[in-house]
Structure 1
């Protein structure tokens, strides 16, 4: 068995230990005001939610003075946002403050609803929280009824917890009726959604503001109004391992593709070389980064992936043609890769969900898409490599130039085999082994299955593969 196989397995398992035991950030949030930036595309990035959950839990544990969401966004994923503000934010005992600076539209307004206090920039606007599909299209009537029923419950819960007028939130979310607030100063016609500007949001109704607690030009002004003037402010931007983890999360399809391409190339070339190093590195970065990103890429998944890789390599090098070990190995590898990208907190929400906010498609949708893209990338590039690599000048530096003794089964002069006949010694499905000119070769059938003992003829050969066809 190739030396690089053990290197890969050892490296993967070592990466698992590293990921499990990675140290926490050393800077403390104690008695500080933690600012989380909700930017234009933040709510369209799954990794933002993971990072915010991590920061909020850490701020709570370290007794930060407050958390401020600095919001300027047109919106994003509704279900993930609802999960954040119904499961994580209610557990906070430290104050949470929303700063609409200057736009909190759609899911951005939901973040503001979930905070204890809301402050508006003088040019701020909040609202238009109507729910649409991920692509921005209108949702069908049945699905809309189901989703709006869920969010009606959410509105009631949040309005009660935060002491806000539920009709204001409903007017922003639903278009089924007309609304009127502040003695007619704010009106919403049926079929429209409420969107409040700063001055409207602080209009007094029954002794309390319509929605926002005040207007402020910056975070320092908010701290002054909240009696926290002079408090140390820290911006919770991803740094170091956290930034690395988010980068890996976003580039996972590319890492998957590179890993599979490199493993394929390494199997096709003798010895342990550059492709083995690339494949090892790609999968190591993938698993470590996803673990740090808050996904399920823990030690047990490393073991499953490593065992799957072992079975696939055994299929190519020791027991070709059976496809049993290889098929099981592929399933184990793909299962481990997909599960490695599942968000741990979202999985908890899925298991605990009583209201159906987090469904199975929400849980595994993006991991499945990322894995599919990575495999497709690997497939396309592998086909190009199979077709063009042997003719490229760089290939001569990768191939072994020395002629090996006859009988080893790894001679480099495969081109000389074209036109020669041999006998299949394992079934070709379509890969297997055949004896040609007294030497055993790994071959591939040109036209599908060929039985053991059949006579075949080499129709093409290069440094990557030997193609045979059955002799009629």
Structure 2
């Protein structure tokens, strides 16, 4: 069955391409140390030299946080873990999107649970998402001019950057407070960083200074507690943003330092010469560029996949779709979100969908299973390790990833269907559908070699031929007068057996639609 051979060949090529892309995307470029030394690729950041080193590992997150920030942080943690070295996260950032902030915070939390000490140094500012990254660390140090806080959650959707809706803000405020308590930070200040309506007051309860919210202050007074107001730190119309001196005064930071050298030598008791800096690699810079256009990569991948199903054999559209899917997975693989299980699931999904469309059409079992596997791979590759349904932010990440994936997939599908109707009426569509011109050049068919022996006059409604394979409903047809050129064809409503005489009804982009003809109608094609 030539059609099946082409299908299997294209699927094997697609799977091999996805696997190779994920392997090549592995961050194997050595990270430069302070002395310019590198790390052996493929060891997860651990080498004999790493194990012998005792100095801190420093990773700097500057500018707006993006997908490469997560990759940098993970590499720093991997480098520090074998010898129990300290990780210093230098922060000079206005923040970033909520989902990314949560992934960074969870990566730090997981490292701390494994025994790695993570220290934050706020070099200039740690605003919005940057403040939670700092708050996730075991200790926080700030330079004299640094500021931390102002963490109103934002989301990035089809309308651009937006403030998170109220229902999410409420749960986010609770999560933020719990995160502060877990990391021994004043929870009232943490709440005030997220929600500008939260008033923060410094009070004395039985003579002990304590930070409380406006609501807690009211509750204390109603219970008759021995509480005295010292001062209002932030009113109910302003987000909490702390200077270095304020953060130290309120117990939000451990100290103020002049810079990295003072932190390493005086506060941590380490030699500054032993510091190892993690530098961004070329692959991580690629991730930073790919992440913002991920939805468009998905749309283009779906659109090209639809075009490939409408075209004979395997060609430019199929290769383009595979490239887009590979880039999408590679960017997630680099940041540690996607694993091999997602690549395998998506590849198996493609195989099952092809089986449904081309081998056992109408059963729906293979097609639905393949679609679900594809959807799972696309969604799960955005969640990362350590997903916990009990955490509100994890649930939000899952819901957001599902809605985004479904939405952009539908955009690609409707776009592909629209192009399928519009393109054939254009000169480009005519060239794609008709194959080679009279001069023997041009057209998509020429590029893939499927219709190299079929002239444009044969690809027209009314032309006759014979089924070279069964059409269920897709297969291949030999047009009269072109016995060596099989054309991919489909039949509407039902199936046709091998050897059935057919007539061309419609010529679509790269594929013909045929119908069965009675034996006495089967003459030679025009």
Structure 2: distance between partners of 1:10 and 1:167? 51
**After superposition, where does 1:71-470 map in structure 2 within 5 Å?**
71-74=92-95, 76-77=97-98, 80=102, 83-84=105-106, 87-88=109-110, 90-91=112-113, 93-131=115-153, 135-137=161-163, 139-140=165-166, 144-159=169-184, 164-173=185-194, 175-180=197-202, 187-203=233-249, 210-226=251-267, 227-239=269-281, 242-243=284-285, 252-257=294-299, 259-260=301-302, 263-264=305-306, 268-270=310-312, 273-275=315-317, 277-287=319-329, 290-298=332-340, 300-314=341-355, 318=359, 322=362, 324=364, 327-328=367-368, 330-331=370-371, 334-335=374-375, 337-339=377-379, 341-345=381-385, 348-350=386-388, 353=390, 355-359=391-395, 361-363=396-398, 365-366=400-401, 369-370=404-405, 372-373=407-408, 376-377=411-412, 380=415, 383=420, 386-388=424-426, 389-391=428-430, 396-399=441-444, 412-413=454-455, 415-416=457-458, 418-420=460-462, 443=489, 460-461=506-507, 464-466=510-512
Please give the secondary structure, in 2, of the residue aligned with 1:97.
strand
Contact 1:50 1:294 in 2 (8 A): yes
1:242–1:275 distance in 2 versus 1, CA, 3 Å: same
Give the C-alpha shift of residue 109 in structure 1: 2.0
Q: Tell me how far apart the structure 2 counterparts of residues 194 and 401 of structure 1 sit (CA, whole Å).
A: 65
Report the CA distance between 1:452 and its aligned residue. Answer: 7.8
Matched residues in 2 for 1:200 and 1:261: separation? 54
- Tell me whether 249-258 or 426-435 shows the greater mean CA deviation: 426-435
1:56 is paired with a residue whose SS is helix
- For the residues of structure 1 that align with 2:95 and 2:446, how far apart are their CA atoms? 60
Cα distance in 2 for residues equivalent to 1:280 and 1:310: 13
Structure 2 gap ranges (5+): 29-41, 204-208, 210-228, 518-526
Distance 1:128 1:14 in 2: 42
Cα distance in 1 between the residues matched to 2:11 and 2:402: 28
The alpha-carbon deviation at position 80 of structure 1 amounts to 0.9
Following superposition, the deviation at residue 95 of structure 1 comes to 4.2
Q: How many Å apart are 1:415 and its aligned residue? A: 4.7
Whole-angstrom CA distance in 1 between matches of 2:490 and 2:201: 72
Q: Is 2:80 aligned against 1:59? A: yes
Shift of 1:293: 3.2
| Structure 1 residues 46 and 317: alpha-carbon distance in aligned structure 2, compared to 1, 3 A threshold | same
| 1:412–1:430 CA distance, 2 compared to 1 (3 A) | same
**Mean Cα displacement is larger for which, 88-97 or 419-428?**
419-428
* Larger mean Cα displacement after TM superposition, 238-247 or 102-111: 238-247
Per-residue CA deviations over 1:143-192 (Å, capped at 9, x if unaligned) read 54444333333332222xxxx54444444445444413799687322443
Q: SS of the counterpart of 1:112?
A: helix
Offset at residue 216 of structure 1 (A): 3.5
Q: Quick one: structure 1 residues 94 and 342, their matched pair in 2 at CA, closer, same or farther if it must change by over 3 Å?
A: closer
- Deviation of 1:363 (Å): 2.6
Number of residue pairs the alignment of both structures matches: 446
Give the 3 Å change call, closer, same or farther, for CA 211–289 of structure 1 in structure 2: closer
Alpha-carbon distance, 1:81 to partner: 6.0
Residues 28-47 of structure 1 deviation map (CA, whole Å, 9 limit, x = unaligned): 653233223333320xx356
Q: Deviations over 1:38-86 (max 9, x none)?
A: 33320xx356345524532442333224423323224541771685278
CA gap of 1:249–1:419, structure 2 versus 1, over 3 A, is closer
Separation in structure 2 between the aligned mates of residue 467 and residue 269 of structure 1, nearest angstrom: 12
| Residues 87 and 116, structure 2, Cα contact 8 Å, conserved in 1 | yes
What is the rounded CA distance, in whole Å, between the counterparts of 1:318 and 1:391 in structure 2?
28
Question: Does the 8 Å CA contact 1:444/1:468 hold for their aligned counterparts?
Answer: yes
TM-score, L = length of structure 1? 0.71
1:15 matched to 2:20: yes
Three-state SS of the structure 1 residue aligned to 2:272 is coil
Question: Is there any run of 5+ residues in structure 1 with no aligned partner, and where?
Answer: 204-208
Asked if 1:38 is matched to 2:61, the reply is: yes
Q: If the length of structure 2 is used for normalisation, what is the TM-score?
A: 0.65
In structure 1, the residue corresponding to 2:85 is in which secondary structure? coil
What is the DSSP-based 3-state SS (H/G/I as helix, E as strand, rest coil) of the residue aligned with 1:123? coil
SS at match of 2:90: strand
Taking the aligned partners of 1:25 and 1:48, their CA distance within structure 2 comes to 16
Task: Please give the per-residue CA displacement for 1:194-223, whole angstroms capped at 9, x wherever unaligned.
Answer: 3222343344xxxxx643344344322333
| CA 317–413 in structure 1, closer or farther in 2 if over 3 Å, else same | farther
